[in-house]
Structure 1
Amino acid sequence: DLKPVGTAQAKLHALALENKPKNRYNNVLPGYLSRKEFIAAQGPLPATVNEFWRMIWEKNVQTLVMLTRCNEQGRVKCEQYWGPGTKYYEDIIVTTTSEIQLEDWTIRDFDIKNVKTTEVRSVRHFHFTAWPDHGVPETTELLISFRHLVREHMNQYSRNSPTVVHCAGVGRTGTFIAIDRLIFQIERENIVDVYGIVHDLRMHRPLMVQTEDQYVFLNQCALDIIRARTGNNVDLIYQNTAAISIYENV
C-alpha cells in the first residue's frame, strides 16, 4: 500500500539540469519542501561535499546523524566529508576536534568556521556504524539507544535549527526518523501508528523506509518499547497489531 505514496509529487529542483548530477540515485529525488525538524539528506558525492557543508552552515545545523559507512560491500556509499585534522570546503573550514569510537557508533565533534565572517560553530557528528545497507541492526535496543543519545543532544542544542540525517539514500534515514516519531507517539499520545508515520514521511520524501525488513523492524521497535514500559501505561493502543502478529509468527 505504501509503495506509490509520495511518488507523484513535483521534483522540479531535483530534475533541473544543473542539479541532476548532484543526485546520488536517479530514483531517489527530493520532493515536497517544508520547515521541519529534520533534513533528510543523501550521502554527499565528491562533487557535492562543499554544498553539503554550505547547507550545514546556512541551516545552522548543530546535530548531524550519519547512518552508513563510507564504503560498504566494496561500494562507495558516501564521500567522507570530514578530517582527520582540518579540511577546507570552499568558504567553510572543518576541524575535527574529538573522536570517540565505540563498538556500534562513533561520536565526533567538529568546529566549522566561515571564512567570510570568521564565525566558528560546533557540530556533533553521530555516526552509527552497525547498520547494513537495505537491512536492519541486530537488535532494536541498539538503534533505540542511539536515538536517545541523538535526541538528548538535539534537545540541548538544536531546538531552533534542523538536524541533518543521512545514509546513502532514504532507507536508513527514513527508519531512524520514523523511530524518533514513534517513540514520541508512544510517550505523548499513548498510541502508535507505524503505517501512518511512514505514509507521512513519504509525503515529504518518496521511498523513506525503503525495505520490508525496515518496516517490520519499526513494528518490532514499537513492540519492544511498549513491553519495556511500566504498568501505568498498559492501556496503550497499538494500531497495527496485524503487522506485529505476522512478525512474531515469522
Structure 2
Amino acid sequence: DYEAYYKKQKADSNCGFAEEFEDLKIVGTSQAKIHALTLDNKPKNRYNNVLPDSSRVKLSIIHGSPYDDYINANYMPQGYLSRKEFIAAQGPLPTTVNEFWRMIWEKNVQTLVMLTRCNEQGRFLQVKCEQYWSSGTKHFENITVKTTSEIPLEDWTIRDFDIKNLQVKTAETRSIRHFHFTAWPDHGVPETTELLISFRHLVREHMNQYSRHSPTVVHCAGVGRTGTFIAIDRLIFQIERENIVDVFGIVHDLRMHRPLMVQTEDQYVFLNQCALDVIRSRTGTNVDLIYQNTAALSIYENVEPKKRYS
C-alpha cells in the first residue's frame, strides 16, 4: 500500500511529509549532554547543537585525563545485523583528527564512509571536514595512515588505506576502504535516488565482507547526510526482509541517539522517494530508478551537468 500512501503525503507540495517531519523536530533534543559540554570537550565539537549523549563512542584514556575518552560520535541503532553496526561521527576538526584515527583503530573499523567534500561552496567557501589523509603516508600521533590506492569516479571516490599503530609492538597493519561520496550538496539531496541507492549497495557489499564484527564509521560535517545514509541502509533492509516501510520510525530512532539526524525536510522526503523507487524496482515497474530530483538540480545550476553514473 505504500505507493498510495506516498501519493497522499506528497500532495500539496509534500504537505503530509512536512507534517511528519515537523513532529520529529524535538525528538532527542532534551537529552543531557554532560560530557559534550565540559570545558575540555567543548572545543572538540564542530557544532554546538550536535552533541553526543548516552550512546557516545568512548575512547581509551591515554594521557591520564578523563577527557581523553571523548569524541563527537555515536553508536547508532540502525544496523540490521548489530545494534552497533554504525558509528555516526562529525567531520574531524584540525584538533580532533588524532582522536578520529584513534577511534578507527580502537574500534577496528574497516569500512569508512565520507559524505561531504572537505570544502564546500555555499554562499561562502566553508570547511566541512579536515582532510585526514594524504596521497602518501601521514602521521596522526601514534597512528600512520598510508594511501595505497585512489579511484576517482564521477560521483564518488574509493580509496584504500593501510594503518599502523606505533604503540602496538607487533607489526600489525590494517586495511581500510574509504567510500567518499562527492556529489551530495550540504543540506540537500543527491541528484537522483539511483545515485544514493547504488552507493549504499557498494558500501554494504564491503561491509558484509569485511565489517561483520566491527562498526562502520559514517560522517559528513555533522548529521544530515550521515543520518540519511544510515536511514537508507535500514530502509532497504526493511523493504527486502520485512516488507514494511517506516521512514518516520527510522528517523525517530536515529534522533534518539544523535540529534538532528536527517536534518532537512528535503532529506526526509528523499528517503520516502528512495523507498518508492526500491519497491518499484522490486516489482518491475521502475527498474532504472529514474526519479530526477528537481530541487537538487537547481543546486547544481552553476555547475556543469553531470552524466548519470551506471
1:22–1:36 CA distance, 2 compared to 1 (3 A): same
Deviations 1:43-101 (A, max 9, x none): 00000001100000000000000000000016900000001100000110000000000
Provide the rounded CA distance (Å) in 1 between the counterparts of 2:291 and 2:152: 37
Deviating above 4 A after TM superposition, structure 1's stretches of 4 or more consecutive aligned residues are: 31-35, 231-250
Provide the rounded CA distance (Å) in 2 between the counterparts of 1:232 and 1:74: 37
1:239–1:201 CA distance, 2 compared to 1 (3 A): farther
Provide the rounded CA distance (Å) in 1 between the counterparts of 2:296 and 2:246: 11
Contact 1:223 1:244 in 2 (8 A): no
Contact 2:144 2:163 in 1 (8 A): yes
1:32–1:15 CA distance, 2 compared to 1 (3 A): farther
TM-score (norm 2): 0.72
Shift of 1:118: 3.1
Residue 72 (structure 1) aligned to one of 120, 134, 155: 120
SS in 2 for 1:21: helix
Larger Rg: 2
Identity of aligned residues (%): 91
Q: Which residue of 2 aligns with 1:18?
A: 40
Provide the rounded CA distance (Å) in 2 between the counterparts of 1:132 and 1:208: 16
In structure 2, stretches of 5+ residues that fail to align are 1-22, 52-78, 304-310
Deviations 1:217-241 (A, max 9, x none): 0000000001111379999999999
Give the total of aligned pairs: 249
Q: Which residue of 2 aligns with 1:236?
A: 289
Provide the rounded CA distance (Å) in 2 between the counterparts of 1:249 and 1:87: 35
Contact 1:219 1:244 in 2 (8 A): no
1:118–1:96 CA distance, 2 compared to 1 (3 A): same
Stretch of structure 1 that moved more, 74-83 or 42-51: 74-83
Deviations 1:188-211 (A, max 9, x none): 100111000000100110100000
SS in 2 for 1:64: strand
Contact 1:185 1:192 in 2 (8 A): yes
Contact 1:191 1:238 in 2 (8 A): no
Shift of 1:18: 1.2
Stretch of structure 1 that moved more, 77-86 or 10-19: 10-19
Provide the rounded CA distance (Å) in 1 between the counterparts of 2:295 and 2:115: 29
Provide the rounded CA distance (Å) in 2 between the counterparts of 1:91 and 1:19: 21
Whether 1:37 aligns to 2:85 is yes
Provide the rounded CA distance (Å) in 1 between the counterparts of 2:121 and 2:173: 37
1:121–1:6 CA distance, 2 compared to 1 (3 A): same
Contact 1:175 1:218 in 2 (8 A): yes
Provide the rounded CA distance (Å) in 1 between the counterparts of 2:245 and 2:294: 10
Provide the rounded CA distance (Å) in 1 between the counterparts of 2:302 and 2:237: 27
Q: Which residue of 2 aligns with 1:54?
A: 102
Shift of 1:12: 1.6
Contact 2:117 2:182 in 1 (8 A): yes
TM-score (norm 1): 0.89
Q: CA RMSD in A?
A: 5.5
Contact 1:44 1:52 in 2 (8 A): yes
